């Protein structure tokens, strides 16, 4: 019964995450100082902050092994909790022309190499409600995938994100070494 509950929670999380995909590619040459499963981000602009947190990703590939999409996260508490983190940063990649293969290298906010990339940052400690920044047409920056395995992805990033309905922006820099959230359950990644 516990395995059924655990499987249900994992499947629910995957469906909520928008059927996100994970990687199974070879490693790249560069390295960061980030331990596996951890991430660091520095925020400047409207908000000045430094965060260190749990870094995870979740995914689902099509039957050919290509990705439908991929989401990488770093937040205070990790993804598999019902508590709300004080901060969160997500990078999401989707194929602009359908399923895509993912390789190490640099990706631009917006579209590059037939992959569309979006990012979001939220912080609930700077005001009474959560403040969120995301990719807009005026957003810019890069995410570099340094290495990938079937259970981890290491990235560095430097992106500028904007408030959606108001004026304001933040620059997010940092690195994380995300671990596949569903690898132990044998689902995805």
pLDDT on residue 180: 85
Tens-binned pLDDT, residue by residue, of the chain (189 aa)? 433 343 333 333 333 333 333 333 333 345 556 677 899 999 999 999 999 999 988 776 788 888 888 889 998 876 766 667 789 999 999 988 888 888 899 999 998 778 899 999 999 887 778 899 999 998 999 999 999 888 899 999 999 999 978 889 999 999 999 988 876 666 667
- Calpha distance 142→159 (Å, rounded): 6
Non-local (6+) Cβ contacts of 128 within 8 A are none
What is the predicted pLDDT for the residue at 18? 33
Q: In Å, what is the CA distance from 104 to each residue of 13, 75, 141?
A: 26, 23, 17
Question: How many alpha carbons lie under 13 Å from residue 115 in its C-beta half-sphere?
Answer: 25
- In the prediction, which pLDDT does 80 show? 63
Pairing of strands 49-61, 169-180: parallel
Q: What is the pLDDT of residue 81?
A: 63
Q: For residue 44, what are the β-bridge partners?
A: 171
The pLDDT value given to residue 91: 95
| C-alpha span between 171 and 159 (Å, rounded) | 6
pLDDT score for 33 = 60
Contact present, 158 and 164 (Cβ < 8 Å): no
**Per-residue model confidence (pLDDT) at position 184:** 63
pTM above 0.85, yes or no: no
CB atoms within 10 A of CB 140: 17
**Cβ–Cβ < 8 Å for 47, 12:** no
Tokens standing for residue 140: 């810019």
Q: What is the structure's pLDDT at 32?
A: 54
* pLDDT (0 to 100) of residue 159: 97
């Amino acid at each position: 019964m516990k395995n059924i509950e655990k499987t249900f929670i994992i499947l629910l999380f995957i469906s909520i995450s928008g059927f996100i995909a994970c990687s199974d590619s070879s490693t790249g040459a560069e390295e960061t100082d980030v331990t596996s499963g951890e991430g660091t981000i520095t925020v400047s602009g409207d908000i000045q902050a430094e965060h260190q947190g749990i870094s995870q990703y979740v995914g689902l590939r099509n039957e050919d092994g290509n990705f439908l999409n991929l989401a990488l996260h770093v937040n205070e508490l990790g993804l598999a909790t019902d508590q709300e983190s004080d901060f969160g940063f997500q990078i999401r990649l989707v194929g602009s022309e359908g399923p895509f293969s993912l390789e190490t290298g640099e990706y631009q906010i917006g579209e590059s190499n037939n992959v569309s990339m979006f990012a979001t940052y939220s912080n609930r400690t700077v005001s009474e409600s959560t403040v969120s920044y995301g990719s807009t047409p005026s957003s810019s920056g890069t995410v570099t995938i340094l290495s990938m395995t079937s259970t981890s992805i290491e990235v560095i990033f430097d992106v500028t994100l904007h408030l959606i309905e108001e004026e304001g922006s933040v620059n997010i820099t940092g690195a994380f070494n995300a671990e596949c959230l569903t690898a132990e359950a044998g689902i995805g990644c």
